[in-house]
């Protein structure tokens, strides 16, 4: 069935916007505030529902694949900006903690709490992890958080010595600036995978480990 003119035009504009977006140098803080405002509305209106659909499932699958590859056992996971816990639903772990500042998302997730699984309502920047984690995940969340590099460092202190950090971000200008700085912080990049969804939104998934423990790739 051929697409209507309206749908084709919409797709064209989305593709053009997606291509241009990483090169628009908006001040990082403006960009972040726009994202956060949009994110909060999405939980109420249900516009995050698409993240559970097949078009987004490759992102979760790859993150889970990286976890399984680098941490085949004893997976104690901290999911920062976990939303309603889509990742938690699909992954195997010995212990999982998801933190998010959105009350709607955490209340949806809490029905799945059990002795191995907890969700906690908190801004990521003010949460103090009480133990060490084998895997720390920032899945589409790091650029929403104020001072993302400081927060990344804050969570690194909660990484088990041979643990990994997995970061996934859509390719935006803010993400480009964050990636550049993350690569200068004494962590070794074990993997970098670029993916795109059906609308052409490209994401990058990177896996980091402590440079002292994994001195070379």
Q: Which residues bind ligand SAM (CB under 6 A)?
A: 36, 39, 51, 81-83, 86-87, 100-102, 105, 123-125, 139-141, 144-145
Could you tell me the smallest distance in angstroms from the CB atom of residue 170 to ligand SAM? 9
Residue nearest to ligand SAM (CB): 83
DSSP H helical ranges for the chain:
5-20, 28-45, 54-70, 86-90, 103-110, 148-156, 173-182
Could you tell me the smallest distance in angstroms from the CB atom of residue 194 to ligand SAM? 17
Q: Compute the half-sphere exposure of residue 170: CA atoms within 13 Å on the CB side of its CA.
A: 18
For ligand SAM, which is the closer residue by CB, 8 or 37? 37
Could you tell me the smallest distance in angstroms from the CB atom of residue 121 to ligand SAM? 9
Could you tell me the smallest distance in angstroms from the CB atom of residue 94 to ligand SAM? 20
For ligand SAM, which is the closer residue by CB, 120 or 179? 120
For ligand SAM, which is the closer residue by CB, 53 or 162? 53
Could you tell me the smallest distance in angstroms from the CB atom of residue 101 to ligand SAM? 4
Tokens of 134: 């084998």
Please tell me the total number of residues recorded for the chain in this structure: 217
CA–CA distance, 133 with 77 (Å, rounded to integer):
6
For ligand SAM, which is the closer residue by CB, 43 or 70? 43
Could you tell me the smallest distance in angstroms from the CB atom of residue 95 to ligand SAM? 18
Q: Helix count (H) and strand count (E) of the chain?
A: 7, 7
For ligand SAM, which is the closer residue by CB, 208 or 210? 208
CA–CA distance, 9 with 53 (Å, rounded to integer):
23
For ligand SAM, which is the closer residue by CB, 36 or 193? 36
What residue ranges in 104-178 does DSSP mark as E strands? Answer: 117-121, 133-139, 159-170
CA–CA distance, 79 with 63 (Å, rounded to integer):
11
């Amino acid at each position: 069935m051929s697409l209507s003119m309206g749908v084709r035009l919409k797709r064209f504009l989305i593709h053009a916007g997606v291509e241009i977006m990483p090169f628009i140098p908006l001040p990082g803080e403006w960009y972040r505030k726009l994202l956060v405002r949009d994110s909060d509305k999405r939980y109420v209106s249900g516009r995050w529902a698409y993240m559970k659909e097949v078009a987004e499932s490759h992102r979760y699958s790859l993150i889970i694949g990286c976890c399984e590859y680098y941490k085949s056992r004893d997976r104690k996971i901290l999911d920062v900006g976990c939303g309603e816990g889509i990742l938690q639903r699909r992954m195997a772990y010995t212990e999982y903690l998801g933190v998010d500042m959105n009350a709607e998302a955490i209340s949806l997730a809490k029905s799945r709490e059990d002795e191995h699984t907890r969700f906690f309502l908190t801004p990521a920047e003010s949460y103090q992890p009480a133990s060490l984690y084998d895997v720390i995940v920032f899945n589409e969340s790091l650029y929403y958080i104020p001072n993302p590099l400081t927060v990344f460092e804050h969570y690194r202190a909660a990484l088990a010595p041979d643990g990994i950090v997995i970061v996934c971000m859509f390719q935006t200008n803010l993400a480009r600036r964050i990636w550049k700085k993350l690569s200068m912080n004494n962590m070794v990049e074990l993997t970098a995978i670029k993916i795109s969804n059906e609308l052409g939104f490209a994401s990058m998934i990177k896996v980091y480990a402590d440079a002292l423990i994994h001195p070379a790739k």
